[in-house]
Structure 1
Amino acid sequence: MDLTVGYISLCVVFGIVSVITQDVDHKVYNLTIRMPNVISPRPDALVCHGIKLDPEETYVVSYIPHASADVAHHMMVFGCILPASHEPSWLCNENHEDFETEVCGKGEKQVVFAWALDAPSFQFPDGVGLRLSGTTGVNYIVIQLHYKHIFPPGRTDNSGVTLQMTRERQPKQAGFYVIGTHGYIPPKQRAFTMETACKYENEYPIYPIGYRTHSHNLGVVTSGYRIRDGTWIEIGRMSPQLPETFYNVTNHVEVRPGDVLAARCTMNSVKRTHNTHIGPTNADEMCNFYVLYYTYWKPNLQAQFCFRNAQDFHWNDYFENIPDTASSLVGIKGVDKVRKMFDLHPPLAPSSRLWHDTM
């Protein structure tokens, strides 16, 4: 998006300066939120910083990340009614047994953006925007950085994100549907699958336009599908070891009430000697498939979640016609890096139950 800056203002929040630039002609403005020169006090530190939004209804139309994979495992951008703290920054999700807390101080946190592995900027299609402020309950933006290492004395960080926004109501509202698993990955597994699926039960249809995969060190490939009347259509398939941006969907489909959304993460734990549990630290794992969609539904949206226990839930118990490519790297650009990382040369023999010679 070509922006010609009309004016610049400074918004002081929690004692921190956030930069807002306005494009008068196109009615688009930039809200840049950066960490206030924070430190990482330990490996795997999760640090948050919040900013209060203008109360008028707005729509995010583009995201520009300002972060490096050398510094952070990932960055999450959440919407909150209230932040968990009004300090300039705070350690959030410190309680690893309950890592859904300490980002927002009231109500559920809403997904606004997610970034990892030097993913590039992302722009919604024309006429699509993520609604914030107004009556949405998203009164604050909180950015959360998951830092890799403890910082040496004197080092600080100001990573963050620029949200390109407009106050013009968009005809199509964007939302997130997050599919994932609980559970653990046993050690010495070359292709352990974690599977999940839920029936879509909202009264309105959605139209996926992007997807993002997220795992830590064991994730080889993650795939997502819409299932209708026994027919599987791929929404997306990507290795979480590649830049974790929102990629264009493989197929443009409608998801309507009664359809099923499903995802599989294929994990390689050959180098591990113990169970690796789903959790927030880099030594743990995650199995997430984010569906970014638009809908013509006018009321406010909430992020939706579908999580299953990987030890108890298996596609074979519920579905037929499972795609042979669900654990395949075929067709994914940049997979030589992934194959080298997991020593996948040569691929598994055709007799393998999960990975085929097409991988």
Structure 2
Amino acid sequence: MWILISLAVVCLTSGFEFDVRMPNVKPQERDTYLCKQIKMGELTEYITKFRPHAKAATAHHMLLYSCIEPGSDEEVWDCGEMMQRKSTHYNKAPVCQSGSKIIYAWAMNAGDLKLPNDVSFAVGGNTESKYLVLQVHYKSVEKFLSGKYGDNSGIIIEASPVPTNHLAGVYLMGTGGEIKPHSITYMETACLYKEPENVVMYPFAYRVHAHTHGRVVSGYRIRNGIWTEIGRMDPRQEEMFYNISSPRMTIKRGDVLAARCTMENLDNDKTVRIGMTQDDEMCNFYIMYYLNANQKLSSDNCWTPGPPNYYWNFPAADAVPESASTHPKTKQHYSSN
């Protein structure tokens, strides 16, 4: 059992649960990103479920990172690394000093996430996950300006001391770039899976993220020129982890992982760029996967510069499914211009 100050630990029949929450913070500037760190124990524990404790009216989104070393020793710090301004209330530092990995993401009142049987995130002990760091993006701060109200958004985590045969991870795909005025723009990324033959990735869930201009975010595995959908969603829906479109999919050496964000900027006279504020955009496709317990990926992210400097340009790009920019429910197709 962990001995952690400021953590509430509750024993369950098959393990225990603990809270990772903001300590009644009162951000004073809009688009503030705050981080809170907790140190893991000397024994390895295995996370099997995430239960968010947050409301979209307060927290725009939350990310949970594992780190070898946290970005700060302070209880809470400003961790909006891409933000140019300096917070007047919190010291600025990165999310992690070393070993940064995303293990969970939440937005838009998404529900709980339970991992498949015999799959977990290993933390503490002899793993590289020595700390967990919760990052919360406060898009709007009006409710905190009077000083009367604070926020304790966070995550309730269920874990067990019992090892699983498979360990989970999150593979993040994203782009930089910009969206021109009066346009529909495709923001695209793709990377070759270069792991050894025996390191097979098993995706089981996906999540998308964009701001106000996102209409469709889709992800694919390309094998021998054939595109197989991992997931496709309107980012204006609940930003939870959904089951993948193609159950029992595998990712093997030589496959290409590709993602596209279809962005609509038809009624705007300004160029919109990728960034950290509510006036900027984001293009992210998350793949939650598992490997055999004794394996790990050499790289868990894929980034490209995005438009106008990058678009898909590889042999299989001529066979992109039309569904890549088709809304999964309304079936509306968005053609770039």
When the two structures are superposed, what TM-score results if normalisation uses the length of structure 1?
A: 0.84
Query: Which residue matches 2:207?
Result: 212
Residues 43-95 of structure 1: CA distance to partner in whole angstroms, max 9, x if unpaired? 10111111111121111100000011001110011111222222221111255
Q: Find 2:231's aligned residue among 227, 233, 236.
A: 236
- The 2-side partners of 1:19 and 1:264 are apart by 40
Partner secondary structure for residue 326 of structure 1:
helix
Q: How does 1:58-97 map to 2 (within 5 A)?
A: 58-96=45-83
Query: Which residue matches 2:34?
Result: 47
- The 1-side partners of 2:293 and 2:101 are apart by 18
AA aligned to 1:279 is G
4+ residue segments displaced more than 3 Å: 8-11, 299-303, 352-355
Q: Does 1:312 align with 2:309?
A: yes
- C-alpha contact 2:139 2:277 (8 A) present in aligned 1: no
- The 1-side partners of 2:224 and 2:16 are apart by 44
Query: Which residue matches 1:56?
Result: 43
Q: How does 1:101-140 map to 2 (within 5 A)?
A: 102-140=93-131
Q: How does 1:294-305 map to 2 (within 5 A)?
A: 294-300=290-296, 304-305=300-301
Partner secondary structure for residue 11 of structure 1:
coil
When the two structures are superposed, what TM-score results if normalisation uses the length of structure 2?
A: 0.90
- The 2-side partners of 1:22 and 1:69 are apart by 29
Query: Which residue matches 1:344?
Result: none
- C-alpha contact 2:32 2:80 (8 A) present in aligned 1: no
AA aligned to 2:265 is S
Q: How does 1:194-343 map to 2 (within 5 A)?
A: 194-203=187-196, 204-252=199-247, 253-300=249-296, 304-310=300-306, 311-315=308-312, 318=315, 319-330=317-328, 332=329
Identity %: 35
Q: Find 1:186's aligned residue among 180, 204, 212.
A: 180
Computed over aligned residues only, the root mean square deviation of the Cα atoms, in angstroms, reads: 2.2
- C-alpha contact 1:230 1:320 (8 A) present in aligned 2: no
Partner secondary structure for residue 4 of structure 2:
strand
- What is the Cα deviation at residue 302 of structure 1? 6.5
Q: Which moved more, 1:89-98 or 1:33-42?
A: 89-98
AA aligned to 2:4 is C
Taking a change above 3 Å as real, the CA distance of residues 306 and 238 of structure 1, as seen in their structure-2 partners, is same
Q: Which moved more, 1:266-275 or 1:168-177?
A: 266-275
Taking a change above 3 Å as real, the CA distance of residues 64 and 316 of structure 1, as seen in their structure-2 partners, is same
Taking a change above 3 Å as real, the CA distance of residues 105 and 69 of structure 1, as seen in their structure-2 partners, is closer
- C-alpha contact 1:111 1:303 (8 A) present in aligned 2: no
Alignment length, in residue pairs? 323
Structure 1 portions without partners, runs of 5+: 1-7, 340-346
- What is the Cα deviation at residue 246 of structure 1? 0.5
Taking a change above 3 Å as real, the CA distance of residues 314 and 30 of structure 1, as seen in their structure-2 partners, is same
